[in-house]
A = this chain, B = another copy of it.
Amino acid sequence: MDTRDVYLDYAATTPVDERVIDAMAPYFRETWGNPNSLYRRGREAYTALESARERVAESIGASRPSEILFTSGGTESDNAALLGIMARTPESRRHLIVSAFEHHAVLEPAAYLGKSGYEVTYLAPGRDGQICSDDLRAALRDDTALVSIMHANNEIGTVQPVRALADITHQRGALFHTDAAQTLGKLPFDVSELGVDAASFSGHKIYGPKGIGALYLKRGTPFAPLLRGGGQEFKKRSGTQNVAGAIGFAEALEIMLAELSEESVRLASLRDRVIKGIAGSIENTSESATCPDRLPNIAHLIISGVEGEAMLLQLDAKGVSISTGSACSSGSLEPSHVLLSIGCPAELAHGSVRVSVGRFTSAEDVEYFLEVFPPIIERLRAMSPLYERMYGSTPH
């Protein structure tokens, strides 16, 4: 069977949709003015920028466009939310709570705050991959200023009960931020229904360009800017705005929402086919997280007795792109902090594989993957000095 180009890492990044490229084009060629300039060219860019802002605000149920700040991506949004809100909380509230399996874009600023006179609590998820309300209740303190818990985890795809967590947080007078980079456009996302004070989004996860993101900041939320300068974005994020990027983000988001209901069904069935297919053709595999509340597009599996990077590279040689939580794939000593946080032993975490489907994934793509994957595992297990010893049988 000929090799085939099968991209199954949509959770890492997505191609830019042709409709998004077309929507951005005029902002490179004609409407390239500085939106902060007063003359026609500037006003046109300003109008375009503000229309993009309105479209995004509308799409996520914000009560006013000025609650949307355009940023350079999910990482900037997360950094701005954590650092910006904590910088403005009263002296009496210096405590931050984040989940232990947040993206590094949240964990790193949290760790920085921990070294800068704030106190940080890392909330461990359950083995099922969900943060438990009672654990949050127990962690909240009178001096808790902010809680940041992602809407869905970017590795194992488990969805968190954000509404409940936000309510519990507010009952203690703290603010709630959620990193929604993985859920925007994939699950219904309405800031008022979820009751969050801040939320982070990224363009390149929704078939928009890289280098653009957004931060929802509920009106009145205390906030100090991360980028200081000309005072753009309502004095909350300085820098000449990426107008084309903002248009691309708005366009990408509207396409996601228009297609969400049908697409989530289609993606979920592809995802389930991946899970069943692997369970049926490869022994000693399991799903990483058991929580039923899952993103429609991510399958995350543990393949015992193999190392993730080796799997990844062998699949790559067959034209298939996936990602893994093994240490070697990140160059760090530890395997994925996400897997460790849900109690997955390191030796198994090294053999984890994330398969994430998306807009351009076909059933044929999935079948191709399911065809080429088992022989690769067999070969790698045969090469391992441990597999036979650990699992008795020679692999098949």
A32 within 8 A of B: yes
Q: Are B238 and A105 in contact (CB under 8 A)?
A: yes
Contact of A29 among B21, B33, B40 (CB under 8 A): B21
Q: Are B109 and A239 in contact (CB under 8 A)?
A: no
User: Which residues of chain B come closer than 8 Å to A42, judged between CB atoms?
Assistant: 12, 321
Q: Are A109 and B211 in contact (CB under 8 A)?
A: no
Bound-state Cα–Cα, A51 to B160, Å: 40
A210 within 8 A of B: yes
Bound-state Cα–Cα, A227 to B228, Å: 14
A341 within 8 A of B: no
**A-B contact sample (10 more), CB < 8 A, given A73-B242, A211-B211:** A15-B32, A39-B320, A39-B321, A72-B72, A73-B239, A75-B229, A75-B239, A103-B230, A104-B230, A111-B228
Q: Are B38 and A312 in contact (CB under 8 A)?
A: yes
Bound-state Cα–Cα, A34 to B73, Å: 13
With A108-B229, A229-B108 in contact, do A212 and B211 touch (Cβ < 8 Å)?
yes
Chain B proximity mask over A1-45: 1 for CB below 8 Å, otherwise 0 = 000000101001111101001000000110011101111111000
A375 within 8 A of B: no
Q: Are A104 and B231 in contact (CB under 8 A)?
A: yes
Can you report 26 A-B residue pairs in the complex whose CB atoms are below 8 A from each other? A12-B37, A13-B33, A13-B240, A15-B28, A15-B29, A16-B29, A16-B32, A18-B29, A38-B312, A38-B313, A39-B316, A40-B321, A42-B321, A72-B76, A72-B211, A73-B239, A74-B239, A79-B226, A104-B229, A108-B228, A109-B228, A109-B229, A204-B240, A209-B242, A209-B244, A210-B241
Report the minimum CB–CB distance from A215 to chain B (whole Å).
13
Q: Are A245 and B211 in contact (CB under 8 A)?
A: yes
A243 within 8 A of B: yes
Q: Which A residues form the contact surface with B (CB < 8 A)?
A: 7, 9, 12-16, 18, 21, 28-29, 32-34, 36-42, 71-76, 78-79, 103-109, 111-112, 202, 204, 209-212, 226-231, 238-245, 309, 312-313, 315-316, 319-323, 329
Report the minimum CB–CB distance from A117 to chain B (whole Å).
12
Nearest first, the 5 A-B pairs at minimum CB distance are A211-B242, A72-B72, A75-B239, A108-B228, A105-B229
User: Which residues of chain B come closer than 8 Å to A40, judged between CB atoms?
Assistant: 316, 319, 321
User: Which residues of chain B come closer than 8 Å to A9, judged between CB atoms?
Assistant: 34, 37, 39, 41
- The closest CB in chain B to the CB of A316 belongs to B39
Report the minimum CB–CB distance from A205 to chain B (whole Å).
9
Contact of A108 among B7, B38, B238 (CB under 8 A): B238
Q: Are A238 and B39 in contact (CB under 8 A)?
A: no
Report the minimum CB–CB distance from A353 to chain B (whole Å).
12
Q: Are A73 and B32 in contact (CB under 8 A)?
A: no
- The closest CB in chain B to the CB of A319 belongs to B40
User: Which residues of chain B come closer than 8 Å to A21, judged between CB atoms?
Assistant: 28-29
Report the minimum CB–CB distance from A126 to chain B (whole Å).
25
Q: Are B231 and A75 in contact (CB under 8 A)?
A: no
User: Which residues of chain B come closer than 8 Å to A108, judged between CB atoms?
Assistant: 228-229, 238
User: Which residues of chain B come closer than 8 Å to A202, judged between CB atoms?
Assistant: 240
- The closest CB in chain B to the CB of A238 belongs to B75
